[in-house]
């Protein structure tokens, strides 16, 4: 099982949804980088469920840093972060252990690891593992911010309710950092939450789109071909449970334009080359061009729903039906926003270290 991402700065995940603990090991950072525990806790709070639009499983997500930090500074050795699971109810999954939930990882986990690999709550496949990913990503976000690189994600849409686009991106990112439900037009927040509540009332779920912006990334980061900036980001972002699509800049809509409309013409801004438009999403030839990196993620509806659905009994090999019990989100989009920030930060930190070396990550 491959659980490590990155080449120079790496992150490794461990644990299961209903195990004793989950965690991450962040390796490759130089010594002397400040660790802001309050900021890590704040990022984790943005992922935590709340209100009637999230799962009833409430975990405190109190983290411990077991190694790699002396006081509030990194030592240069692997940083191990652990989060204990406290609010588990494994019995909710006992009756459906070998009747896989449609569109969940239950069936593929069984195919790859056998019945021993099918664990309560999805085990290692669970979105619960995004908690330590956010904790590690918070460190990456702090490092990048100290280097002038800012990352922010907003909820572009829930079902058919849409937020406005990024405008003044740096100000928008700053605004998003204070929000738990990350929309730029607060008038849309209530409509989105109403859509989530309506799906929940019917035992169903909804998906949506997240849009992420990265500013301050210098031109020249990335590689052509197999380690392109889009490729590395996509590799990382598709690890987020529920992500089924990604597009950069104008994305698929660029196919509706002619080259004269799609091309980002050059100009001089503030004494340096820039572009008049950003249809390429800040990346050309797999390499950052100095413009804001912009991409969107398609997040599917939560697969575990409280409706009867067709499945199979893997023990008898017969068709049957399933109606799961337990505690599940009617929508994960609003909680996945900070996960997108975190994963983006980890990927970009690794790419920056490839260009400038890990010692260049110090302030």
Domains defined for the chain, CATH in brackets: 4-358 (3.60.150.10)
pLDDT at residue 57 tops 90: no
Residues across the chain: 363
Residue with tokens 């525990």: 37
Mean pLDDT over residues 48-67, rounded?
86
Please tell me what DSSP assigns to residue 262.
H
Record the tokens describing residue 202, joined without a space: 């019917």
Mean pLDDT over residues 162-175, rounded?
97
Can you list the pairs that 268-273 forms with residues at least 24 positions away whose Cβ atoms lie under 8 Å?
none
Q: Kind and range of the H or E element at 230?
A: helix 229-237
How many Å apart are CA 350 and CA 363, to the nearest integer? 16
Can you list the pairs that 190-194 forms with residues at least 24 positions away whose Cβ atoms lie under 8 Å?
191/161, 192/155, 192/158, 192/161, 192/163, 192/334, 193/53
Record the tokens describing residue 290, joined without a space: 């100095």
Dihedral sign, CA of 110, 82, 342, 74?
Answer: negative
Q: Describe the crossing of helices 37-47 and 333-356 by its angle, rounded to 10 degrees.
A: 140
What's the farthest any 2 CA atoms get from each other in the chain? Answer: 71
Residue 10 phi/psi, 5° resolution? -115, 155
Residue with tokens 């738990």: 180
Residue with tokens 């699971």: 85
Closest CA relative to residue 211, chosen from 140, 135, 293: 293
How many Å apart are CA 48 and CA 63, to the nearest integer? 13
Mean pLDDT over residues 340-345, rounded?
98
Closest CA relative to residue 236, chosen from 11, 45, 28, 40: 11
At 242, the pLDDT band (50, 70, 90 cuts) reads: very high
At 91, the pLDDT band (50, 70, 90 cuts) reads: low
How many Å apart are CA 145 and CA 306, to the nearest integer? 41
At 87, the pLDDT band (50, 70, 90 cuts) reads: low
Residue 153: CB partners within 8 Å, gap ≥ 6? 176, 182, 210, 211, 212, 213, 337, 338, 340, 341, 344
How many Å apart are CA 320 and CA 135, to the nearest integer? 40
Angle at 131 between CA 126 and CA 133, to 5 degrees: 95
Q: Under DSSP, is residue 126 helix (H, G, I), strand (E, B) or coil?
A: coil
How many Å apart are CA 281 and CA 161, to the nearest integer? 23
- pLDDT score, position 11: 98
What value does the mean pLDDT of the chain take? 93
Q: What percent of the chain has pLDDT over 70?
A: 95
């Amino acid at each position: 099982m491959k659980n490590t991402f990155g080449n120079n700065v790496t992150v490794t995940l461990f644990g299961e949804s209903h195990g004793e603990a989950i965690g991450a090991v962040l390796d490759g950072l130089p010594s002397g980088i400040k660790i802001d525990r309050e900021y890590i806790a704040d990022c984790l709070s943005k992922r935590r469920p709340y209100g009637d639009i999230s799962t009833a499983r409430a975990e405190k997500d109190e983290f411990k840093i077991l190694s790699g930090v002396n006081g509030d500074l990194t030592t240069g050795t692997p940083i191990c972060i652990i989060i204990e699971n406290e609010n588990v109810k494994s019995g909710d999954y006992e009756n459906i252990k070998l009747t896989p939930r449609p569109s969940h990882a239950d069936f593929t986990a069984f195919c790859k690891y056998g019945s021993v690999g099918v664990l309560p709550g999805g085990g290692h496949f669970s979105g619960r593992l995004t908690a330590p990913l956010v904790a590690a990503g918070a460190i990456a976000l702090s490092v990048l911010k100290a280097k002038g690189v800012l990352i922010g994600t907003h909820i572009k849409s829930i079902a058919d309710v849409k937020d406005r686009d990024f405008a003044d991106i740096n100000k928008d990112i700053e605004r998003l950092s204070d929000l738990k439900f990350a929309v730029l037009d607060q008038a849309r927040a209530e409509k989105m939450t109403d859509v989530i509540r309506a799906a929940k009332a019917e035992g169903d779920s909804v998906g949506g789109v997240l849009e992420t912006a990265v500013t301050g990334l210098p031109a020249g980061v990335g590689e052509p071909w197999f380690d392109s900036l889009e490729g590395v980001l996509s590799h990382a972002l598709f690890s987020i449970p529920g992500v089924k699509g990604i597009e950069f800049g104008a994305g698929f809509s660029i196919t509706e334009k002619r080259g004269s409309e799609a091309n980002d013409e050059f100009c001089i801004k503030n004494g340096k080359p820039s572009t008049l438009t950003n249809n390429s999403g800040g990346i050309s030839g797999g390499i950052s061009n100095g413009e804001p990196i912009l991409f969107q993620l398609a997040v599917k509806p939560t697969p575990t729903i409280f409706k009867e659905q067709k499945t199979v009994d893997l023990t008898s090999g017969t068709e049957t039906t399933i109606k799961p019990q337990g505690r599940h989100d009617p929508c994960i989009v609003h909680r996945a926003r900070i996960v997108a920030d975190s994963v983006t930060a980890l990927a970009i930190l690794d790419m920056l270290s490839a260009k400038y070396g890990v010692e260049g990550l110090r302030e």
